[in-house]
Amino acid sequence: MNNRIAQYADLRLTLIQPTVTQKTDPNTHEIIQPSPMNLLKEDKALRDRFLRFVIRLQEEAGISQISIPFIELPFSSFREMLLGIKRSCERSNQQPIFFVDPSYLDFEAAIDFITKELQAKIVGLIYRPYRNVPLSYETLFKYVDKDVAFLNTQVYRLDTQNRDISTMHYLPFLGNDLYSVMIPIPFGKSDKNSPKIEGESIKPPKPPKDKLDYVKFFDRKSLQVNALSDELSIISELRNQYEKDSIIENILEHYGEARTNEKIYTVLTALSKVNELNSSFAEFNSFQKYVNNNSTKDYLQEKKVLQEALRKERQYSTGTNTFNQSRLG
């Protein structure tokens, strides 16, 4: 997989992150099996073995920038662990990229240590919504003018609590530079088995009435990700965008059949992903011009939904003018 991805990406990272979910008895609620995170926290020998294994896997895959998963330890132990990994990677001529969970109690101390003492130029973050950890995002704003890039991983494609706006398009206003999108759940997965951001309390989505609810297209004008069943104007916009492409026109001509034809559904889903990749990339290029001209306020004026989304997030902030600057350069 790494070799395949290498054809398309300059920066290739693989993060194997222990989860915090523990197994409990449904009747007594007693813990039957501790979470992987707790196992690693409590057993140093197991923790060291796990880290060696993770690093070795990346070495054998030919990855030179080694992702170091976040393990929630008291800060003194966390600091000692990172120092040991840094020394080990230097001996092997490797570059470690340390990941931190913004919900970590000592998040600010961890970021300061990684950027200042370890002199890291890229810091990995496990995505948490701003509303859950506003103080941690405030920490990132200290680095707006610093030569440090923050990479958010497992980012939701859209914010269902914020008008379905594309999450990655408001992350630059939250001190973020790079991102990777959470792998989408397969069609037909139940809510019970669906992956979710750990630690985030959200209402379960309503069961879709239309299969086309699963096919979502990114809209550059609003920065929202809209379901095809709700926004039939998407078809008209796509026709204008790909007016000379007979293959895509044929897909759009028969899009309604995706409700009953699995092959057409698969093709339509693929089109939505390719279109979003192209449209999102083009939108970031456009946005970058505003950043370079120091005119991100003008960009916000043009993107009313984004402005509203940031205003909604601002209510969780302790600052007063947090979102006027963007990290994307």
| pLDDT digits 0-9 by tens, 288-308 | 999 889 888 899 999 999 998
pLDDT of residue 50: 96
**Residues with Cβ < 8 Å from 200, sequence gap 6 or more?**
128, 129, 132
pLDDT of residue 201: 42
Whether 245 is in a domain gets the answer no
Do β-strands 122-126 and 95-100 pair in parallel, antiparallel, or remain unpaired?
parallel
- Indicate if the pLDDT at residue 235 is higher than 60: yes
In order of 136, 148, 236, 325, the CA distances from 130 in angstroms are 8, 20, 34, 16
Whether 222 is in a domain gets the answer no
Whether 283 is in a domain gets the answer no
Q: What are phi and psi of 122, to 5 degrees?
A: -130, 130
d(CA 118, CA 82): 9
d(CA 324, CA 270): 35
End-to-end alpha carbon distance in the chain: 30
22/322: higher pLDDT: 22
Which of the four pLDDT bands, split at 50, 70 and 90, describes residue 208? Answer: low
Q: How many domains does the chain have?
A: 1
Q: Tens of pLDDT along 189-206?
A: 444 434 444 444 444 555
- Indicate if the pLDDT at residue 325 is higher than 60: no
Q: Are 224 and 163 in contact (CB under 8 A)?
A: yes
**Residues with Cβ < 8 Å from 12, sequence gap 6 or more?**
2, 5, 6, 63, 65
- Indicate if the pLDDT at residue 142 is higher than 50: yes
Residue 66 per-residue DSSP state? E
Whether 50 is in a domain gets the answer yes
Q: Tens of pLDDT along 26-74?
A: 888 788 888 999 999 999 999 999 999 999 999 998 888 899 999 999 9
> How many C-alpha atoms does 172 have within 13 Å on its Cβ side?
20
Q: Tens of pLDDT along 2-35?
A: 666 666 667 778 899 998 888 887 888 788 888 9
Q: What is the mean pLDDT of the chain?
A: 84
- Sheet arrangement for strand 65-68: 65-68, 95-100, 122-126, 149-155, 178-181
Q: What is the domain extent for residue 49?
A: 2-206+294-324
Which of the four pLDDT bands, split at 50, 70 and 90, describes residue 321? Answer: very low
- For 123, the 3-state DSSP assignment is strand
Q: Are 324 and 296 in contact (CB under 8 A)?
A: yes
Looking at the chain, the number of H-run helices and the number of E-run strands are 11, 11
Give the torsion sign (CA, 140, 145, 146, 151).
Answer: positive
**Residues with Cβ < 8 Å from 135, sequence gap 6 or more?**
107, 108, 318
Question: Which range among 69-83, 113-127, 131-145, 178-192 shows the weakest confidence by mean pLDDT?
Answer: 178-192
92/325: higher pLDDT: 92
pTM, whole model, 2 decimals?
0.82
Whether 60 is in a domain gets the answer yes
Give the CA diameter of the chain.
63
